[in-house]
Structure 1
Amino acid sequence: MTFPNRLLPWQQHQWEHLCSYIAQKRIPQALLITGNKGLGKQQLAHQFAAGLLCATPQASGTACGHCSSCLLVNADTHPDFIQIQPEEPGKGIGIGQIRSLIGRLTLKPQFETQRVVIVNPADKMNNAAANAFLKCLEEPTERTSIILITEKPAKLPATIISRCQKLAVVTPDKDVAVKWLAEIMQCDAATNKTLQLNVSLAQGAPLLALEYANDQTLTLRNECFDAWMAIAKQLKSPVIIAEDWHKLPASPLIFWITSWVIDLIKCFYQAQVANLYNPDLNEPLQELSRRLELKGLYKLYDLLLSDRQRLDTQINKQLLFEEILIQWYELNRSK
Structure 2
Amino acid sequence: MAVSNNILPWQEQHWGSLYGYIKLGRIPQAVLITGASGLGKEALANRFAYSLLCTNVRDGGSCCGVCASCLLINADTHPDLIKIKPDEDKKTISINQIRQVVSGTYLKPQFEAYRVIIINPADVMTIQAINGFLKCLEEPTERTLFILITDKPNKLPATIISRCQKLTVTMPEKTVLSDWLNGQGIHNNQGTVLNLVRGSLLTVQQAADDTLLKQRTDCFNDWLTIAKQRNHPAIISEKWQKLPEKELVNWLISWVSDVIKCACRIDAEQLCNQDMVKPLQELAQRLNLRRLFGLYDLLLTCRRQLETQANFQIMLEEILVQWQQLNGRI
Within the alignment, does 1:331 sit opposite 2:311 as a pair?
A: no
Change (3 A) 1:59 1:130: same
Letter in 2 for 1:12: E
SS in 1 for 2:208: helix
Letter in 1 for 2:143: R
Letter in 1 for 2:93: I
**How far does residue 202 in structure 1 lie from its aligned partner after superposition?**
0.7
Paired residues of 1:37 and 1:208 also in contact (CA < 8 A): no
Range that drifts further, 250-259 or 274-283: 250-259
Residue in 2 that maps onto 1:280:
275
Paired residues of 1:180 and 1:206 also in contact (CA < 8 A): no
Whole-Å Cα distance in 2 between the matches of residues 158 and 248 of structure 1?
40
Aligned residue pairs, count: 330
**How far does residue 177 in structure 1 lie from its aligned partner after superposition?**
2.8
Report Cα offsets for 1:102-156 as digits up to 9, x if no partner.
Answer: 2322221011111101111112222332232223222222101111111122222
Residue in 2 that maps onto 1:136:
136
Residue in 1 that maps onto 2:181:
181
Report Cα offsets for 1:42-95 as digits up to 9, x if no partner.
Answer: 101001111111112222122122222112112211111111112216632222
Report Cα offsets for 1:239-285 as digits up to 9, x if no partner.
Answer: 55556667755544333222212221333355544332101112221
Within the alignment, does 1:296 sit opposite 2:291 as a pair?
A: yes
Letter in 2 for 1:231: I
What is the TM-score of this pair, normalised by structure 2? 0.88
Letter in 2 for 1:51: S
What is the TM-score of this pair, normalised by structure 1? 0.86
Paired residues of 2:84 and 2:97 also in contact (CA < 8 A): yes
1:34-45 aligned within 5 A: 34-45=34-45
SS in 2 for 1:166: strand
Paired residues of 1:116 and 1:147 also in contact (CA < 8 A): yes
Range that drifts further, 300-309 or 205-214: 300-309
Whole-Å Cα distance in 2 between the matches of residues 159 and 246 of structure 1?
45
1:197-212 aligned within 5 A: 197-212=192-207
Pairwise CA RMSD? 2.7
Change (3 A) 1:219 1:178: farther
SS in 2 for 1:179: helix
Letter in 2 for 1:149: I
Q: Which runs of 5+ in 1 are unaligned?
A: none
Letter in 1 for 2:269: A
Task: Please point out which of 216, 233, 245 is paired with 1:238.
Answer: 233
1:18-37 aligned within 5 A: 18-37=18-37
Task: Please point out which of 246, 254, 259 is paired with 1:259.
Answer: 254
Letter in 2 for 1:179: D
Change (3 A) 1:17 1:95: same
SS in 2 for 1:31: strand
Within the alignment, does 1:229 sit opposite 2:235 as a pair?
A: no
Whole-Å Cα distance in 2 between the matches of residues 215 and 42 of structure 1?
28
Letter in 2 for 1:32: L
Change (3 A) 1:217 1:177: farther
Residue in 1 that maps onto 2:96:
96
SS in 1 for 2:229: coil
Residue in 1 that maps onto 2:84:
84
Letter in 2 for 1:279: Q
Paired residues of 1:177 and 1:199 also in contact (CA < 8 A): no
SS in 1 for 2:184: helix
SS in 1 for 2:83: strand
Letter in 2 for 1:205: S
Paired residues of 2:36 and 2:199 also in contact (CA < 8 A): no
